[in-house]
A and B are shown apart, each in its own frame.
Chain A
Amino acid sequence: MAFETPAAVELRGLTKRFGSVIANDGVNLRIQPGTIHGVIGENGAGKSTAMKMLYGIFPPDAGEIIVNSKTCVWESPADAIAAGIGMVHQHFMLAGPYTALDNILLGAEPVRCGVIERKKARTRLEALARQYGLPVDWDSPIEELPVGVQQRVEILKLLYRDAKILILDEPTAVLTPQEANELFRNLKKLRDEGKTIILITHKLKEVMSFTDHVTVFRAGKVTGEMPTSQTNPQELANLMVGRKVVLNINVPPAHTRDELAMEVAALSLAGTVAGSRHKLSDVSFSVKRGEIVGVAGVEGNGQSELLQAILHPREPLCRTSGTVWFLGEDVTHWEARDIRDLGVAMIPEDRQREGLLLERPVSENFLLGLQRSSAFSQGGVLNSRNLLAAATQAEEEYDVRPRDLAIPAGKLSGGNQQKLIVAREFQRKPRLLIAAQPTRGVDVGAIEFIHNRIVRARDEGAGVLLVSFELEDILTLSDRILVMYEGRIAAEFARGQVSEGELGLKMAGS
Chain B
Amino acid sequence: MRKLLQPVLAVAFGLALGLGVTRLAGENPWHVLQILWKSAFGSRYDFGMTLFYSTPLIFTGLAVAVPFQAGLFNIGAEGQLTLGALATAAVGAVWPGLPWPLAPALAILAAVTAGTVWGAIPGWLRAKRGSHEVINTIMLNFIAAGLASYVTLYLLKNPDTQNPETRPIGAGYLISQFGIFGGAPVSVALPLAILAAVLVWIFLWRTVIGFEMRAVGQNESAARAAGINTGRMTIIALAVGGGLAGLVGVGEVLGNAGKFRLGFSPEYGFIGIAVALLGRNQPAGVVAAALLFGALHKGTADLDFETEHVTRELSLVLQALIILSVSADGLWSWMKKRSAA
A interface residues, Cβ below 8 angstroms from B: 311-312, 335-341, 346, 348, 353-360, 364, 367-369, 371-372, 377, 380-382, 384
Asked whether, in the complex, the Cβ of B227 is within 8 Å of the Cβ of A357, the reply is: no
The interface stretch among B215-223, B240-248, B267-275, B302-310 is: B215-223
Stretch at the interface among B35-43, B114-122, B137-145, B205-213: B205-213
User: Would B227 and A336 count as touching, CB distance under 8 A?
Assistant: yes
Contacting pair B226 A368 (CB below 8 A): yes
Query: Which of these, A337, A348, A359, A380, contacts B209 with CB under 8 Å?
Result: A380
Could you tell me the distance between the alpha carbons of A371 and B226 in the complex, rounded to whole angstroms?
A: 10
Residues of chain A contacted by B222 (CB below 8 angstroms): 348, 353-357, 368
B206 touches A335 (CB 8 A): no
Contact A353 B229 (CB under 8 A): no
Is B225 located at the chain interface by the 8 A CB criterion?
Answer: yes
Chain A residues near B221 (CB-CB < 8 A)? 353-354
A341 to B228, CA, bound (A): 11
Q: Residues of A contacting B227 with CB < 8 Å?
A: 335-341, 369
Interchain residue pairs with CB less than 8 A apart (18) = A336-B228, A340-B227, A348-B222, A353-B219, A354-B222, A354-B224, A354-B225, A357-B214, A357-B215, A357-B218, A358-B219, A360-B218, A368-B215, A369-B228, A371-B211, A372-B208, A380-B207, A380-B209
> CA A335 – CA B233 in complex, angstroms?
14
Beyond contacts A312-B224, A341-B227, A354-B224: 4 other A-B pairs, Cβ-Cβ < 8 A, are A354-B222, A367-B211, A368-B226, A369-B225
Output the nearest chain B residue to A356 by Cβ-Cβ distance.
Answer: B222
A-B contact count (CB 8 A): 68
Give, as a whole number of angstroms, the nearest-CB distance from A358 to chain B.
7
Q: Is there an interface contact between A381 and B229, defined as CB atoms closer than 8 Å?
A: no
Q: How far is the CA of A339 from the CA of B229 in the complex (A)?
A: 12
Do B208 and A382 have beta carbons less than 8 Å apart? yes
Tell me if B209 and A346 are in contact (CB < 8 A).
no
Contact in complex: B208, A380 (CB < 8 Å):
yes
| Contact residue among B208, B219, B223 (Cβ-Cβ distance under 8 Å from A377) | B208
Chain B residue nearest to A337 (CB atoms) is B227
| B229: chain A residues within 8 A (beta carbon) | 335-337
- C-alpha spacing A369/B215, complex, angstroms: 10
CB of A325 to closest CB in B, whole Å: 18
A384's closest neighbor in chain B, by CB?
A: B206
Q: Which residue of A lies closest to B228 (CB)?
A: A337
Classify the interface of chain A: helix, strand, loop or mixed: mixed
> Chain A residues near B226 (CB, 8 Å)?
340, 368-369
A359 to B337, CA, bound (A): 10
Residues in B neighbouring A356, C-beta threshold 8 A: 219, 222
Q: Are B218 and A382 in contact (CB under 8 A)?
A: no
Residue of B nearest to A336 (CB): B227
| CB closest chain-A residue, reference B205 | A382
- B211–A364 CB distance below 8 A: yes
Q: How far is the CA of A311 from the CA of B225 in the complex (A)?
A: 8
User: Which chain A residue shows the least CB distance to B212?
Assistant: A371
List chain B residues, Cβ under 8 A from A348: 222, 225
The answer to whether residues A346 and B225 also contact, given A357-B218, A368-B215 and a CB cut-off of 8 A, is yes
Contact partners of B224 in chain A: CB under 8 A:
312, 336, 354
Q: How far is the CB of A1 from chain B (nearest CB, A)?
A: 40
Cβ of B207 to closest chain A Cβ, rounded Å: 5
Report the minimum CB–CB distance from A201 to chain B (whole Å).
23
- Complex: how many Å from CA A336 to CA B218? 19
Distance of A429 Cα from B218 Cα, bound (Å):
26
Smallest beta-carbon distance A315→chain B, Å = 9
Least Cβ–Cβ distance between B27 and chain A, in angstroms: 44
Task: With both chains docked as a complex, state the minimum distance between the C-beta of B261 and any C-beta of chain A, in angstroms.
Answer: 39
**Contact between chains at A382 and B211 (CB < 8 Å):** yes
Shortest distance between the CB of A425 and any CB in chain B (Å): 10
| Alpha-carbon gap, A377 to B227, bound state (A) | 16
Q: How far is the CA of A312 from the CA of B209 in the complex (A)?
A: 20
State the 8 A-B residue pairs at the shortest beta-carbon distance, nearest first: A369-B226, A337-B227, A340-B227, A357-B218, A336-B227, A354-B225, A368-B226, A354-B221
A349 and chain B: residue at smallest CB distance: B225
By a CB distance below 8 angstroms, the chain B residues around A364 are: 211, 215
Q: How far is the CA of A336 from the CA of B216 in the complex (A)?
A: 15
Q: What's the nearest-Cβ distance from chain A to residue B234, in Å?
A: 15
Residues of the A chain whose Cβ atoms lie less than 8 Å from the Cβ of B215: 357, 364, 368
Contact in complex: A382, B207 (CB < 8 Å): yes
A381 touches B208 (CB 8 A): yes
177-201 of chain B: CB within 8 A of chain A: none
- Within the complex, the shortest CB–CB distance from A380 to chain B, in Å, comes to 5
- A354 to B212: give the CA distance in the assembly, Å: 14
B208 touches which one: A312, A355, A371 (CB < 8 A)?
A371
CB distance from A363 to the nearest CB of B (A): 11
CB A372 to nearest CB in B, in angstroms, measures 6
- Residues of chain B contacted by A311 (CB below 8 angstroms): 225
A333 shortest CB reach to chain B, Å: 14
Given contacts A357-B215, A360-B218, contact A368 B207 (CB under 8 A): no
Q: Which residues of A contact B225 (CB under 8 A)?
A: 311, 336, 346, 348, 354-355, 369
Minimum distance in angstroms from B85 CB to a CB of chain A? 30
- Kindly list chain B residues whose C-beta atoms are within 8 Å of the C-beta of A371: 208, 211-212
For the complex, what is the distance from the CA of A346 to the CA of B227, rounded to whole Å? Answer: 10
Q: How many angstroms between the C-alpha atoms of A382 and B215 in the bound complex?
A: 14
A358 to B219, CA, bound (A): 8
CB distance from B223 to the nearest CB of A (A): 7
